[in-house]
């Protein structure tokens, strides 16, 4: 049902419109139709983005909970590509959480020197590994509360572990999820913190679509809805987007 709706809106706004103004009016009307029901709008956005971005998943490379946790800690303020260039040698030197716990930050530092904030992250990694060895018997814990007890593991990192590795419902909110969900209008204007956005998305996105939605929003934010100069003219969900619709309405008036 949603795909039909999206297809109709998309075709109407791109094929039938004879002038720019007409197409923007159609887009505005499409958006207003969905405004009444945020769940409908969210479902339509997920469906349209799923068509544009097949098989969305994390771009971080890992083979175990230990490797994913290290990669996620390293990815803060750093690109996944850079992290993936770094981790093979790091995991070869420290193949287990026990090996990392036995190391010093100074020994870890050379392996992650090309990553942002290498000194802090080297310390976090060693402290995290010691926390796992001391408090969790060498096993990466699988609940948010336990994960967040580990040094260097905040709510977003814990949520990534839950949704990507442990297949538990969660919605990690990073800079892309925050920007994109607010621009599109998946969360209300009053959602100003990452936690408020997380809660709103958890309310509106069906449980079984949380992981897909999380990755779709990140990939859409990286590729199309960039922080500066979002590529609205080629965006597959411009007809559903609040930011785009408001800008279009301004141009008409």
State yes or no: residue 244 binds ligand SF4 (CB under 6 A): yes
Q: What residue has token string 């994390």?
A: 58
The secondary structure of residue 106, as a DSSP letter, is H
Contacting residue, 184, 186, 216, 218, with ligand SF4 by CB under 6 A:
184
Please give the size of the binding site for ligand SF4, defined by CB under 6 A.
13
Selected catalytic residue, list 156, 209, 231, 251: 156
- Annotated catalytic residue 22: no
Would the annotation count 225 as a binding residue? yes
Tokens of 220: 């859409």
Whole-number Å distance between alpha carbons of 227 and 169: 27
Whole-number Å distance between alpha carbons of 143 and 128: 15
Q: Is 17 left (phi over 0), alpha (psi -120 to 50) or beta?
A: beta
Would the annotation count 191 as a binding residue? no
**Close Cβ partners of 18 (under 8 Å, ≥ 6 residues apart):** none
SS3 assignment, position 61? coil
State yes or no: residue 53 binds ligand SF4 (CB under 6 A): no
State yes or no: residue 178 binds ligand SF4 (CB under 6 A): no
Contacting residue, 155, 183, 222, 246, with ligand SF4 by CB under 6 A:
183
- Annotated catalytic residue 174: yes
Whole-number Å distance between alpha carbons of 22 and 64: 52
Contacting residue, 203, 223, 231, 251, with ligand SF4 by CB under 6 A:
231
State yes or no: residue 230 binds ligand SF4 (CB under 6 A): yes
Chain residues that interact with ligand SF4, rule: CB under 6 A: 183-184, 224-225, 230-232, 235, 237-238, 241, 243-244
Please give the annotated binding residues for [4Fe-4S] cluster, written as ranges: 225, 232, 235, 241
Please give the annotated binding residues, written as ranges: 225, 232, 235, 241
């Amino acid at each position: 049902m949603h795909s039909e709706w999206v297809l109709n809106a998309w075709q109407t706004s791109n094929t039938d419109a004879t002038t720019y103004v007409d197409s923007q009016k159609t887009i505005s009307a499409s958006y207003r139709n969905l405004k009444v029901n945020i769940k409908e709008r969210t479902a339509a956005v997920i469906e349209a983005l799923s068509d544009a971005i097949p098989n969305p998943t994390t771009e971080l490379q890992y083979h175990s909970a230990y490797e994913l946790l290290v990669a996620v800690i390293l990815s803060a303020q750093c690109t996944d590509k850079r992290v993936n260039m770094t981790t093979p040698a790091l995991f070869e030197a420290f193949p287990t959480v026990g090996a990392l716990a036995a190391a010093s930050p100074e020994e870890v530092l050379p392996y992650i020197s090309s990553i942002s904030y290498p000194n802090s992250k080297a310390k976090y990694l060693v402290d995290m590994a010691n926390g796992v060895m001391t408090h969790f018997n060498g096993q990466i814990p699988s609940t948010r509360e336990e994960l967040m007890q580990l040094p260097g593991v905040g709510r977003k990192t814990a949520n990534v572990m839950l949704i990507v590795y442990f297949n538990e419902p969660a919605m990690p909110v990073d800079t892309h999820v925050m920007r994109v969900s607010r621009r599109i209008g998946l969360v209300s204007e009053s959602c100003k913190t990452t936690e408020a956005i997380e809660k709103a998305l958890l309310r509106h996105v069906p449980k079984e679509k949380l992981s897909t939605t999380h990755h779709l929003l990140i990939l859409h934010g990286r590729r199309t809805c960039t922080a500066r100069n979002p590529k609205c003219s080629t965006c597959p969900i411009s007809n559903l987007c609040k930011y785009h619709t408001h800008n279009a309405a301004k141009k008409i008036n």
